[in-house]
Every structure is written in C-alpha cells, then in structure tokens.
Copies of this chain bind each other. A is one copy, B any other.
Amino acid sequence: MEGKAGAAKTIRKDRRKTSFKGRFQVKKSFSLGQIAAHIDGKVDGNPSLVICGVASFDDASENELAFASGAKFVNRLHSSPAGAVIAPTNAPEGAKPLIRVQNPALAFARAAWLFVEEPPVTGIAKSAVIADDFVCGKEPSIGPGVVIGRGVRAGDRIRIGPNTVIGNNVTLGDGVCLNANVTIYHGCILGSRVIVHSGSVIGSDGFGYASDGLTLFKIPQTGIVQIGDDVEIGANNTIDRATFGKTLVGSGVKTDNLVHIAHNVTVGENAVLIAQAGVSGSTKIGRNAVLGGQAGIAGHLEIGDFAFVGPQAGIAKDVEAGAVVSGSPAMPHKLWLKVSRIISTLPQLRKQVGDMEKRLETLEGKAHGDGM
C-alpha cells in the first residue's frame, strides 16, 4: 500500500473536488484510543484525538489515519499529513500521534473497516426469478433480475447482485457475496463468506475432447467446482467444472481479475493468483503459493506449498515447495535475474566470441607459420 503514495499524490486535488468518500465510508468518528483498542495497538500521543476516516500515507488529511511500514515510510513518519499514523512498534518517536502495532498493514486494514458502510439488507427483489424449492437462510439480499435454479440451498445473509445467475443444485455458504452479472453453473458449492466479482463464471465445462484425428468429440463434464471458505474471486475469472469429481479452490484463496482455472485443478488454501494467470487442467497448486500476473501453468503439474511463480512465467515442470521461479521456461528466480541481464547483452557476447575467433585464427596461423 505504501508504494501507492506516488500515484496517489498526483490525483490528490481531483479527489478533494469530488468528495465521494462520504458515500462509501460511514460518517462517523472514533478516538485514537478506541481504534487502538480495536486493533490491539498502543497509542503514542493523545488518545482522545478524533479520527474520521483512513487514507494513504501521503494523501491523508489531518483527521484521517494512515499507516507506515517499511523504511521508506517509517523514516518520514512524522511528515505525513495524516492526523495519526499506525506504525511499527519500534518506529521513532516524534510529533505525530502513533498507534504502535506488530503488523501496521494488517492493523490498518482492520481499522479501515471501522469506517466502511455496511450495506443494508434488501430482501429479495420482485424481478428475481427463483425456483420454488429455494432454501435460504436469514436476511438475504437478492437483487433484481437474479435467476436461481432448482435445488439451490443458501446460508444466512447472502448478497446476490443484479442479473446474477445461479444454476440448479448450487450450494452457497453463509455470507456469500456474488456481485452483479456473475454466473454459477449447476451443482457448484461455495463455502462461507465467498466473494465473487462481476463477470466471473464458476463451473463452465472443462475443455475436454476426444479426437478421431480430425474432429473433436466433446467429453461430458459431469463434475463440479467446490470453493472453500473466505475465498475472493476477482472479476471475469473462469473456473471450469471437473470432468469427474471436483475442481477445488481451497479456503482463503484470493484471485485477481481475468484468472483462468481449468478442470480438475486443485488450488491449495490461501494461494494467491494474480491477474491473468492461467492454470491448465488437473494441476495442483500448493497452499499459500503465489502465481504472478500472466503466469501460465501447464497441466498435470504440482506447484508446491509456498512456491512463488513470477509474473509471465511459463511453468512446464513441477515446482518445489517454497521455490521462487521466474521466466519462460521457468528457472530459479535468482538465476533468472542473472540470465535476464545477460540476454540483453547477447549482441556483445556474440561479437566478443567472433573477435576471439579471429584472434584464435591469427594465433593458429602464427603457430603454424612458426612450425608449431
């Protein structure tokens, strides 16, 4: 988050003009002491200071709270325009009121939710088309144009955005939030508190065909997609149903936008898939693994737990647990850094080799001429 300060600065004036913030942050305030209690921090300054919102380090106003982590921000901690700053426990003292915590970014995220408007429960819109046998928990919010098929079961406090379509026999856990224009195919299972952003498609047919040598014959895709708890799926993702069994997305997984997950893939708990990454069929992504943006993973592979796959990497072999790999074809990231520096010097390398060859010929000629 801190790194965004530069970009944020450039749009600061515009932001002030539109004053849209009131729409998304509750117009209420907390004392620095109240916030510190909420995030298990220690106030360094006046605990009665009134805070009315949160903002980024360089863009906060005098009644807003920011945060600093990393030397870049901690070193200029007391120059932030913010009213107060969440800082590491060992941050230097100064004029600026602080809340000291172990993990400033996490504490800030928790503080930020204090100021976010809880959307109201809206009930079920008249224009939603819902099968008679829909089993739904308490306090649903189901928008206009939503279509829910037969045999669907949902937990409490689900939020379904307008024009989202839920196929037959889908199961949705408590607190599931499907934004507008989402599609969930029949039979898929979403755990509690799953968020799916607009345009994403869960449970489309896996890409499976048998060939007669010239034409392709569709293999029925009779499996499902099962998604664990606390998963967030970005916008315009595609997650295909399994041929048999399940495509599995573990609890805590977060996917960015335009991510592709093929049939029979398993994504381990808390894995992170950055925008436009793609995972081919039957591959297993380990828990807490990270796939960089536009990374591509071939089929039938194992990416180990806590592995880190760099952006645009092309993975054609298994990746060990904890490994950091980059490049296409992928290699250890440290090697890739060396290699990538050499790649741009290949013209010099080739010239150097050509020059050496001439010198070698000269030496050989002399050696021959000298009777060597």
Contact = CB atoms under 8 A, between A and B. Distances in A.
Contacts of A76: none
A224 interface: yes
A64 to B, nearest CB: 9
A217 B270 CA distance: 11
Query: What 3 pairs across the A-B complex have the smallest Cβ distances?
Result: A238-B257, A147-B162, A129-B144
Interface string A55-85: 1100100000000000000000000000000
A314 interface: yes
A165 interface: yes
Given A3-B299, A161-B165, A343-B346, 11 more contacts: A7-B266, A24-B222, A195-B205, A256-B260, A296-B311, A328-B328, A345-B350, A349-B349, A360-B363, A366-B367, A366-B372
16 contacts: A6-B300, A21-B222, A24-B187, A54-B244, A145-B145, A161-B165, A181-B201, A183-B199, A199-B199, A204-B235, A205-B232, A236-B238, A275-B280, A338-B347, A342-B346, A352-B357
Interface stretch (A30-38, A89-97, A100-108): A100-108
Contacts of A346: 338-339, 342-343
A217 B109 contact: yes
Contacts of A288: 214
Contacts of A207: 234, 254, 256-257, 274-275
A123 interface: no
B179 A245 contact: no
B143 A145 contact: no
A293 interface: yes
Contacts of A218: 109, 232
A130 to B, nearest CB: 9
A342 B338 contact: no
Interface in A186-243: 186-187, 189, 195, 197-201, 204-205, 207-212, 214-220, 222, 224, 226, 230, 232, 234-238, 240, 243
Counting chain A residues whose Cβ lies within 8 A of the other chain, the interface size class is 35 or more
Contact of A245 (B15, B262, B350): B15
B10 A266 contact: yes
A328 B151 CA distance: 48
A151 B205 CA distance: 30
A199 B238 contact: yes
Interface string A320-341: 0000000111010001001110
Contact of A238 (B234, B262, B282): B234
A235 B182 CA distance: 12
A28 interface: no
A311 B106 CA distance: 37
Interface in A124-144: 125, 127, 129, 143-144
Contacts of A204: 179, 197-198, 234-235, 257
A258 interface: yes
